[in-house]
Amino acid sequence: MAFESLSEKLSAAFKKLRGKGRLTEADIREAMREVRLALLEADVSYKVVKDFVKNVSDRAVGQDVMESLTPAQMVIKIVNEELTTLMGSENVKLNISSQAPSIVMLVGLQGAGKTTNGAKLAGLMKKSGKRPLLVACDVYRPAAIKQLETVGAQLDIPVFQMGQVNPVDIAKASVEHAKRHGNDIIFLDTAGRLHIDETLMDELRNIRDAVHPAEIMLVVDAMTGQDAVNAASSFDAALGLDGIMLTKLDGDARGGAALSVRAVTGKPIKYVGTGEKLENIEPFHPDRMASRILGMGDVLTLIEKAEQNFDEQKAIKMAERLKKNQFTLTDYLEQLEQIKSMGDIKDIAAMIPGFDSKAMKGATVDERAFPRMEAIIKSMTPKERENPVILNGSRKKRIADGSGTTVVDVNKLIKQFEMMKTMTKQMTAGGKKAKRMGMGFGKGTPFQF
């Protein structure tokens, strides 16, 4: 997870401030020295680090501890606010023109993930009710057009391509195509290079001048650190960027790009790629990212992820079944699939306030666990799923053979299911009690009775 090392170093710096009744200049100086080192190791720009440390020091020195706050919490509060300001203060949305189709021009160097992450962004727009069109303007990279068609098909988004002709002609023709077919937003997947050169910039300027995009978005690899910031500065000088998308923020990126790019270029980070799957993209919220870095969790993003994977009709049916104490292995399978669709378990856990990343050190998430559990349940008969009490030795052996697992795996699943069933009984009882007390759960939730 990005920022993990930075988070640990900042936590260690703040830990030393505990127990002090007042923040002295010596205390702040020592803490800021460690903060400075942590940020530099995270590949944050030296000038950005220098200004950041000065701003925090100026605010922290001499401040009395607020009521109910320890000095360490005071410093964390100040650092949190300054980190948020550093990254842009608030989420900036994609520019959408008043007249359809709105054009988003995706630019960047080769290897940044422009094609895949541009498609992710188009998929996100589709979920919000837009009718996107992906346009193949990269006519140089081998298989670039095929790659765009592949991800477009996976997201059920049409792809416009004319083969290896002039990219300017492709861009202009795509606008007319979009008007005829009702596409209200276009994503131009332009060519990249291994390095910035004038030939690349001339072509991009020609496309820009031909179709006048509402948004020119740079896609950069977060793992390249300060190189990402340098690329952003160069593209902005040549084209005039409107926004930035950082990719591979789920990897071992040190975080310097996210913390530096806004301060250096003045251009907002609008989206971040958080994984390889086509749904792994998030709007960038500086305040939430600052909270993650400081180990304070990110409850809002966690809620949004849950809502995206929330099926209201299934929830209503589940509520009725819980009401009648009819939670079955089929219901359990649906719950597992919803959790799986939210993303990597470690990333989800990191959004929970108070989560200790060190507790996950060395821990491994068995990627085969969900498919194995799914195979076991689907190898059961409908009667067995409804009433697992009837699962004797021979039935378990048959299920294990049918799912390619062992009887031990089957027993483990049944035990987990029984624990989950016990929990739902307790929730059901709590929900009824809450209703009697005038504290019913919200409409549409699984525990509304």
For residue 309, the model assigns a pLDDT of: 52
Q: What angle do CA 235, 243, 115 make, to 5 degrees?
A: 75
Query: Do the bridges between strand 159-160 and strand 185-190 make them parallel or antiparallel, or are there none, so unpaired?
Result: unpaired
Fold exhibited by the domain 102-294: Rossmann fold (3.40.50)
Confirm whether 4-86 and 102-294 share one CATH topology: no
Nearest-CA neighbor of 234 among 197, 202, 207?
197
CA distance 261 to 246: 10
Could you read off the pLDDT of 174-231 as tens digits, one per residue? 999 999 999 999 999 999 887 788 888 899 999 999 999 999 999 988 877 777 888 8
pLDDT in tens, 210-224: 999 999 999 988 877
Domain boundaries, the chain: 4-86, 102-294, 305-436
* Rounded Cα distance, 204 and 197, in Å: 11
Residue in the block written with tokens 């966690």: 302
388 neighbors 381 (Cβ within 8 angstroms): no
For the domain spanning 305-436, the CATH number is 1.10.260.30
What pLDDT does residue 182 have?
Answer: 93
Cα maximum dimension of the chain: 73
Topology of 4-86 in CATH?
Answer: Four Helix Bundle (Hemerythrin (Met), subunit A) (1.20.120)
**Structure confidence at residue 195 (pLDDT):** 78
Extract the tokens encoding 244: 């930035």
**What is the number of other CB atoms lying within 10 angstroms of the CB of residue 154?**
12
In 175-309, beta strands by DSSP E: 185-190, 215-221, 243-247, 269-273, 281-283
Place of tokens 């820009």: 208
pLDDT in tens, 107-161: 998 888 899 999 999 999 999 899 999 999 999 887 899 999 999 999 999 999 9
Task: For the chain, list residues with pLDDT below 50.
Answer: 65-68, 298-299, 354, 359-365, 431-449
Instruction: Give me the helices (H) in 16-166, please.
Output: 25-41, 46-60, 71-86, 114-127, 144-155
Residue 231: its pLDDT value, please? 85
pLDDT of residue 444: 33
The per-residue pLDDT for 299 is 47
